[in-house]
Amino acid sequence: MSPRRSRRRKLPVEPVEVNIESLSHEGRGVTRIDGKVAFVEGALAGETVRARYIQKRGQFDVLATEEVLVASKDRVTSDCVVSGVCGGCSLQHLDPGQQLLMKQSMLLEHLQHSAGLNTDAFELMPMLTADTSHYRRKARLAVRYVQKKGGALVGFREKHSSFITVMDDCKVLVAEVASLIPTLKELISNLSSAADIPQIEVAAGEIEAAASAPLQVALVFRHLTPLEPADLDALLAFAAQHQLHCYLQPAGPDSVHRVYPQQGQDRLEYFLPAFDLRLQFHPMDFTQVNGPINRQIVSRVIDLMAVQPGQKVLDLFCGLGNFTLPLARQGCQVTGVEGSDAMVKRGYENGALNGLSNMAFYCADLSKPFVDEAWAQSQYHKLLLDPPRSGALEVVQQIQKLAPEQIVYVSCNPATLARDSAELLAQGYRLKSAGVMDMFPHTNHVESMAVFDRQAS
């Protein structure tokens, strides 16, 4: 790389006054400065703001709002004192209802652009919402010991920075976790190995089915060097005092092990009371971050699929059985497929826990051809897809092998959902309905759902 290319572009020092034309898919204000596209963080459509440059790129620039001169009617005052700095959220300044409308517009735009689908071609599902504060049950908190800051910092990283936000509270983490931040900072500051703890993985599970019940918190401490006995004793005492599950991670994910409590199974759990189910999980397992919204999504999926006893249903990317078990509760025969042996094991554990035997779990890499897999030798009445952000293109390209009458697709990325929708249309399916769910309030992440029917040939 030449010296010229390696140098960072020099940023203008003086802030600029700009008028915001629209919102980008990331929830940033869009404007033009001397004809060049600029994205302005913390700005809303229709506003006039004073902003400073934080990045200059060849195609576009990025700025951050310093002062709102003319405010949008959709702007709200956040009760989070670090919302302008912390990278954990990006939309605290936008009314929650408008956040969801923005995400719905994003989904519709992707469907129109990638699949040629206008809103008159399918039914728009009602948006699913819940409390937008203290909803987040899983997170990775960064940790750094900073002497000049008075000790350890614990929290999310700042926007566009490796620095950790100086914070004592969080408005999106569940209250049981948010309230621990000050005491975690004090705990780590007093450890001899404080400089060798870079992160804490957080997971929270339910103690009982009632929505208002307190949560059980598990903390996984990553440590780069062996802990001194006194430090381990301090962590154990902290866990006992706050009734936490405490885990250590001295190396990779496989090294995670629980040190408190020492008895009992190392599992958290959550409930799906509409289906009389409880599902157990390890704190490092993937589970949905928003429990109330997950309950609503599961109920919607079950209603939409309307499975009958005796039908065969395929649940791809099934995880630990979040949809598999509720489907099995309807009396159909369900096959769940997941890329992780650990999740397959967890699916069977949860089936046994709930007295369900009308299901089978398989481990398979769904990014590869599956025609020779044992589970793919059956014909299925209905198919559920819940893939990662990369989507399920490889699956839908092989959909004729499975030939389901109906497909319900749950997505955390509207771009890949729209891409895969175009492929399903080409394979002879029709988009019946689509909509969004507020899984990630105050962020630009979009959870959506689409239902496809096979058209008669």
The three-state secondary structure class of 175 is helix
Q: What angle (nearest 5°) sits at the alpha carbon of residue 296, between those of residues 295 and 301?
A: 100
Query: How far is Cα 321 from Cα 348, in angstroms, rounded to an integer?
Result: 9
The single-letter DSSP state of residue 375 is G
Picking from 408, 249, 205, the residue whose alpha carbon sits closest to that of residue 317 is 408
How buried is residue 219: exposed, middle or buried, by Cβ count under 10 Å (0-12/13-18/19+)?
A: buried
The three-state secondary structure class of 41 is strand
Which of 86, 318, 332, 412 is an active site residue?
412
439: left (phi over 0), alpha (psi -120 to 50) or beta: alpha
In the residue annotation, 363 being an active-site residue is answered as no
At residue 234, φ and ψ (nearest 5 deg) are: -65, -40
Token pair in block for residue 30: 């869009």
Residues 6+ apart with CB under 8 A from 249: 201, 220, 221, 222, 223, 255, 256
Q: What is the residue type of 171?
A: K
Query: How far is Cα 162 from Cα 40, in angstroms, rounded to an integer?
Result: 20
3-state helix, strand, coil in the chain (%, to 5): 25, 30, 40
At residue 301, φ and ψ (nearest 5 deg) are: -60, -45
Element (H, E) at 299: helix 291-305
Sign of CA dihedral 436, 438, 443, 445: negative
Picking from 292, 348, 305, 345, the residue whose alpha carbon sits closest to that of residue 325 is 348
The label of the residue with tokens 């689908």 reads 117
The three-state secondary structure class of 195 is helix
Catalytic residues: 412
